[in-house]
Amino acid sequence: MNSGCDVIVIGAGIVGAACARECARRGLQTVVVDEAGPGGGATAAGMGHIVVMDDSRAQLALTGYSQRLWRELAAELPAETEFEMCGTLWVASDEEEMDEVLRKQGVYASAGVRAEVLSGSALAEAEPHLRRPLSGALLVPTDAVLYPPSAAAFLLRHAVRAGARFQSSRKVVSAAQGRVRLDDGTELRAPRIVNACGAESVRLLPELPIRPRKGHLVITDRYPGFVRHQLVELGYLKSAHSVSADSVAFNVQPRQTGQLLIGSSREYGAETTGVNYALLAKMIDRAQQYLPGIGSMQAIRVWTGFRAATPDKLPLIGPWPGDDSLFLATGHEGLGITTSLATAKLLVGTMLGEKTEIDAEPYRPDRFAHSGEAGSGAAQAQVPAHSVEGSHV
Ligand SMILES: Cc1cc2nc3c(=O)[nH]c(=O)nc-3n(C[C@H](O)[C@H](O)[C@H](O)COP(=O)(O)OP(=O)(O)OC[C@H]3O[C@@H](n4cnc5c(N)ncnc54)[C@H](O)[C@@H]3O)c2cc1C
C-alpha cells in the first residue's frame, strides 16, 4: 500500500516521538507506527534525568545541545511531564573525586555549561540528608528531570498536531528499500524509513551493533523535601562508562510527588525482565551509603528496563549505508530521554541535507559499517517483551 507519506517512523518511544514531531514540523508527511502505544519500551522504564555528560566530546556536544532544547521547550511542557530544573549534584566522597569535580567543571565550562563547585559544608547545607562528611560536589544547575512517558506522549501529540498520523498496535516485521511490512501482512511504503525501536531495533536490522543493557529502578513512598537535586555519585562515571562489567551506582532523583526514584544498575547478558535481587540489594545498599535515611523508607515498586547500548556509547543517528531509504535513531543507552530532541534535529537535518547545529558526523551509523563491530549485538539482542513491571508514579 502506498502510504502517501514522506517518512515512516517505526517506534513511538521518546526518540521516535521526537523524530516524528521534527519531521512533521519540517513539512514532511509523517506516519508513526508502534506495536504498542506511545512512550512504552525503555522510555517507560527510564529515570528522566536530563543531564549533560562528558564521557567524550561528542557526548558532551549532544547532551549539552539537547539539554538546551529541553529548556527552550520547558514553557510548553504540560504539568503531567513534571519537568523541573532541579539541577544535578555530582557528589565527591574523597579528594580524588574532588579532583574530578574540578576537571569536570573545566570541561563543562569549555562547552558553555555552567557548573559550580560546592565545598563539603555547602553540600551538607544543600542536601542535609546526605551522610557527613563528604568532600564536596559539582552543581550543574541547568540539569533537569521529567516523567518520560508523559513527555513522549506530549511530543507525539505535537507531531500529530503538525500533521503526522499515528498508528498504534501495529508491529513491524521488516523495514527496507522503502517498504515497511506489518505482522498482519500490510505493506506501507515511503521514500524514508526511520528505525527508532530502541533496544529492539536489531530485530529489524540484525547487523546493528546494539546490545540490551538492563537496569533496575526503585520508587519509594512520599517523603517531600528529603532530597532537592538529582544526586549522583562521581563513581557513577566509572560504572556508567564501563562497557563490560555489571555495576551499581548511587543515583537518586526527587519526584514532584515527593517520592524518591532510586537507581541505578547496569547489566549485560540479562535476558529476562525479572528483578535481580542480589543486584537490587547492592543498589539499595549503595544508595544508603550516601543517604542513610533511605534505610527506613518504604519502597513501593521496583522495575527493570533495557537500554540500547552501542560499543562507543554514542547513539546511531542518520542514514544506514546500503539502503537509501533507511535512517536510524537508536542506540541511546542511558541518555535517550536527554538526547531525544537533539537526535530529532540531527536526523531531520541529515535527511534534508542541511547543516546541523552541532556536527552530526560522530553519531553517523556508517562509523560501524566496516569496523567489524556491526552485528556484534545481534546475537545477544533478543530483548524480552516490554520490560516495565508497573508504571512509574
Ligand atoms: C533503568 C533506566 C534508566 C534510565 N534513565 C535515563 C535517564 O535518567 N536519562 C536519560 O536520558 N535516559 C535514561 N535512560 C535511557 C532512556 O530510557 C532510553 O535511552 C530511551 O527511552 C530510548 O528511547 P527510544 O524511543 O529510543 O526507545 P524505546 O523507549 O524503547 O521505544 C521504542 C519503541 O519502539 C516500539 N517498537 C519496537 N519494535 C517495534 C516493532 N517491531 N514494530 C513496531 N514498534 C516497535 C516499542 O513498542 C517502543 O514503543 C534510562 C533507561 C533505563 C532502562
pTM: 0.94
Pick the last residue of a domain from 260, 285, 307: 307
CA of 158 to the centre of ligand 1 (A): 19
CATH, residue 342: 3.50.50.60
Q: Is any atom of ligand 1 closer than 6 Å to the C-beta of 307? A: yes
Q: Are 31 and 20 in contact (CB under 8 A)?
A: no
Range of the domain at 179: 7-46+148-210+312-389
- Are 206 and 331 in a shared domain? yes
Residue nearest to atom 50 of ligand 1 (CA): 46
Give the separation between CA 70 and CA 317, rounded to whole angstroms: 19
How many CB atoms are located within 10 Å of the residue 355 CB?
7
Sign of CA dihedral 146, 147, 152, 157: negative
Question: What is the CA(236)–ligand 1 centre distance, in A?
Answer: 21
With a 6 Å cutoff on the Cβ, whether 43 touches ligand 1 is yes
If you measure from the C-alpha of residue 12 to the centroid of ligand 1, how many angstroms do you get, rounded to a whole number?
9
The CA distance from 270 to 223, in Å, is: 32
Q: Which atom of ligand 1 is nearest to the CA of 44?
A: 29
pLDDT value at position 262?
Answer: 98
Q: Ligand 1, from 21, 147, 211, 335: best to mutate by most atoms within 8 Å of Cβ?
A: 335
Instruction: Answer yes or no: is 286 within a domain.
Output: yes
What is the distance in A from the centroid of ligand 1 to the CA of 336? Answer: 7
* Residue where a domain stops, chosen among 263, 284, 307: 307
pLDDT tens for residues 193-207?
999 999 999 999 999
304 lines ligand 1 (CB under 6 A): no
Distance from the alpha carbon of residue 13 to the mean position of ligand 1, in angstroms: 6
CA-nearest residue, atom 2 of ligand 1:
46
Task: State the pLDDT at residue 203.
Answer: 97
Instruction: Count the domains in the chain.
Output: 2
Residue spans of the chain under pLDDT 70: 1-2, 236-244, 370-393
Last residue of a domain, one of 270, 292, 307: 307
Q: What pLDDT is recorded for position 221?
A: 98
All cell numbers assigned to 10: 517505526
pLDDT at 374: 60
Would you say the CB of residue 202 lies under 6 angstroms from ligand 1?
no
Q: Which three cell numbers stand for residue 193?
A: 524509513
* C-alpha cell recorded at residue 131: 551522610
Rounded Cα–Cα distance for residues 61 and 168 (Å): 33
* Packing angle of the helix pair 57-73, 336-351 (nearest 10 deg): 90
Q: Do residues 182 and 132 share a domain?
A: no
Does some domain include residue 272?
Answer: yes
CB 219 within 8 A of CB 77: no
pLDDT of residue 380: 38
**Is residue 274 located within the same domain as residue 223?**
yes
All three cell numbers of 353, joined, read 541535507
Nearest atom within ligand 1 for CA of residue 335: 11
223 and 256 inside one domain: yes
Per-residue pLDDT, 4? 83
Contact 358, 61 (CB under 8 A): yes
